[in-house]
């Protein structure tokens, strides 16, 4: 799935359909002495929706910029979901109506890489296969996000931190340089136990960092998908640590799932949804000979479908055919799909995105856009 294209489309839709949330103009904020730049910042008046965070400008990239791609480079989908999902779960604790978002400013690349190495089991190079299998590197990445509040005197300060821990569902290793790769599955139970232990250690280390001694912290554990998967992994647990607390007491289970359509997993777990999506494909194939299939992705929370994204690749012979295809697909969306979840149809050719159809949950009529 083309996650980045999908995200861009959602942004365009929101910009087109959402009314500004704030008055015109820009609010100048004076950063406090704890901020590294010490320079005034501007917070944009507008944001995409009431559910989104505004950001502080000039935009400051993460102190660990590039680390996520380095650690999760095998699966771009995991990179996107770790970042976006962590922000989504942060909204439960750090109110986007009151707080602003900023990329992590405390944990730099050197710190993150050294913590990952220290927290993972240590195995000598070119050890026996059994040694590697019994000592998998569970932890792939540590992601930091900051949430900022504005004070009455227009200064800003850190109000909360979110830490995402990305852990493997499958350990890939070599017993010798240039040798064959081996794979060891990691159960969710085992991964979760290790992740919770690591979160406690990371909390203790974070409390020793200047500026983070008393800040609330949300930890969330992310389970990566297997290498080469067509869908991303998902968050499995989260916890909230108040102010200056030094220990983690409880973890809340997160029931999220990304499902590929068509797939055996979709048929087994969500049969009704799989049948609807399959019917959509069959009806398109009936009327458009250049149709070759679809790729769908469903996002579920507590086993309820929240968003369905379908990419339909097809070769077109002209603009009229694209328009006809979009009109027919528009009708299928209205007639075949329930409106209790978001649905997005991306129409693509071998060269580009030709158009999209989008309907927000609760709406009756989809939005259609065709590119010139």
pLDDT at 194 over 90: yes
pLDDT at 365 over 50: yes
User: What residue ranges define each of the domains in the chain, with the CATH number in brackets?
Assistant: 3-254 (3.10.570.10), 259-370 (3.30.300.190)
Cα–Cα distance, 322 to 304 (Å, whole number): 33
pLDDT at 132 over 80: yes
Answer for the pair 67, 109: CB distance below 8 angstroms, yes or no.
yes
Query: What is the band of 16 on the pLDDT scale with cuts at 50, 70, 90?
Result: very low
Most confident of 25-29, 42-46, 171-175, 237-241: 237-241
Mean pLDDT of 131-144: 95
| CB proximity list for 65: less than 8 A, separation 6 or greater | 103, 109
pLDDT at 259 over 70: yes
Per-residue pLDDT, 153: 82
Cα–Cα distance, 281 to 291 (Å, whole number): 9
Cis amide prior to 58 (ω within 30 degrees): yes
Q: What is the pLDDT of residues 339-362, one digit of tens each?
A: 999 999 999 988 789 999 999 999
Phi first, then psi: what are they for 140, rounded to 5°? -100, -40
Query: What is the band of 33 on the pLDDT scale with cuts at 50, 70, 90?
Result: very low
| CB proximity list for 304: less than 8 A, separation 6 or greater | 341
Answer for the pair 325, 288: CB distance below 8 angstroms, yes or no.
yes
Query: What is the band of 43 on the pLDDT scale with cuts at 50, 70, 90?
Result: low
Cα–Cα distance, 322 to 328 (Å, whole number): 10
Q: In Å, what is the CA distance from 16 to each residue of 10, 33, 157, 309? A: 10, 38, 32, 20
**How does the average pLDDT of the chain come out, rounded?**
87
pLDDT at 42 over 70: no
Q: What is the pLDDT of residues 149-187, one digit of tens each?
A: 988 887 889 999 999 999 999 999 989 888 899 999 999
Cα–Cα distance, 179 to 189 (Å, whole number): 30
Q: What is the pLDDT of residues 58-83, one digit of tens each?
A: 889 999 888 888 788 677 899 999 99
pLDDT at 218 over 60: yes
Per-residue pLDDT, 319: 85
Query: What is the band of 105 on the pLDDT scale with cuts at 50, 70, 90?
Result: very high
Query: What is the band of 305 on the pLDDT scale with cuts at 50, 70, 90?
Result: very high
pLDDT at 28 over 60: no
Query: What is the band of 20 on the pLDDT scale with cuts at 50, 70, 90?
Result: very low
pLDDT greater at residue 71 or residue 232: 232
| CB proximity list for 346: less than 8 A, separation 6 or greater | 2, 5, 6, 9, 309, 310, 311, 312, 353, 356
Answer for the pair 140, 190: CB distance below 8 angstroms, yes or no.
no
Dihedral sign from CA coordinates of 241, 244, 246, 247: negative
pLDDT at 22 over 50: no
Per-residue pLDDT, 11: 35
Q: What is the 3-state secondary structure (H, E, C) of the chain?
A: CCHHHHHHHHHHHHHHHCCCCCCCCEEEEEECCCCCCCCCEEEECCCCCCCCCEECECCCCCCCCCHHHHHHCCCHHHHHHHHHHHHHHHCCCCCCCCEEEEECCCCCHHHHHHHHHHHCCCCCCCCCHHHHHHCCCCEEEEEEEEEEEECCCCEEEEEEEEEEEEECCEEEEECCCCCCEEEEECCHHHHHHHHHHHHHHHHHHHCCCCCCCCCCEEEEEEECCCCCCCCCCEEEEEEEECCCCCCCCCCEECCEEEEEECCHHHHHHCHHHHHHHHHHHHHHHHHCCCECCCEEEEEEECCEEEEEEEEEEECCCCHHHHHHHHHHHHHHHHHHCCCCCEEEEEEECCCCEEEEEEECCCCCCCEEEECC
Cα–Cα distance, 114 to 360 (Å, whole number): 43
Helix axis angle, 3-17 to 76-90, nearest 10°: 40
Mean pLDDT of 187-214: 97
% of the chain at pLDDT higher than 70: 86
- Which of 8-17, 129-138, 152-161, 169-178 is predicted with the least confidence, judged by mean pLDDT? 8-17
Per-residue pLDDT, 350: 80
Cα–Cα distance, 90 to 240 (Å, whole number): 10
């Amino acid at each position: 799935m083309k996650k980045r294209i999908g995200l861009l489309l959602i942004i365009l839709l929101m910009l087109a359909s959402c009314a500004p949330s704030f008055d015109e103009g820009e609010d100048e904020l004076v950063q406090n002495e704890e901020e590294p730049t010490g320079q005034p910042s501007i917070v944009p008046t507008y944001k995409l929706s009431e559910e989104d965070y505004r950001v502080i400008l000039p935009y400051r990239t993460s102190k660990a910029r590039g680390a996520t791609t380095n650690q999760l480079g095998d699966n771009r989908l995991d990179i996107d979901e770790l970042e976006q999902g962590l922000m989504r779960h942060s909204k439960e604790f750090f109110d986007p109506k009151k707080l602003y978002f900023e990329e992590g400013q405390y944990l730099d690349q050197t710190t993150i890489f050294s913590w990952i190495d220290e927290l993972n089991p240590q195995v000598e190079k070119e050890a026996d296969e059994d040694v590697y299998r019994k000592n998998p590197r569970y932890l792939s990445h540590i992601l930091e996000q900051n949430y900022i509040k504005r004070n009455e005197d227009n200064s800003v300060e850190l109000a909360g931190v979110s830490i995402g821990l990305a852990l493997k569902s499958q350990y890939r290793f070599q017993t010798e340089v240039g040798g064959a790769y081996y794979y060891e599955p990691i159960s969710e139970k085992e991964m979760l136990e290790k992740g919770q232990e690591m979160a406690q250690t990371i909390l203790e280390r974070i409390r020793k960092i200047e500026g983070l001694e008393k800040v609330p912290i949300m930890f969330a554990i992310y389970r990566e998908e297997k290498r080469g998967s067509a869908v991303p992994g998902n968050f499995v647990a989260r916890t909230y640590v108040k102010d200056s607390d030094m220990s983690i007491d409880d973890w809340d289970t997160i029931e999220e799932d990304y499902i590929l359509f068509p797939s055996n997993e979709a048929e087994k777990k969500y049969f009704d949804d799989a049948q609807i999506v399959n019917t959509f494909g069959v009806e398109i194939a009936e009327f458009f000979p250049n149709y070759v299939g679809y790729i769908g992705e469903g996002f579920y929370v507590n086993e309820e479908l929240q968003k369905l994204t379908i990419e339909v690749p097809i070769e077109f012979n002209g603009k009229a055919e694209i328009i006809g295809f979009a009109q027919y697909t528009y009708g299928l969306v209205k007639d075949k799909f329930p409106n209790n979840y978001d649905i997005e149809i991306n129409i693509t050719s071998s060269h580009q995105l030709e158009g999209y159809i989008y309907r927000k949950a609760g709406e009756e009529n989809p939005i259609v856009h065709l590119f010139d």
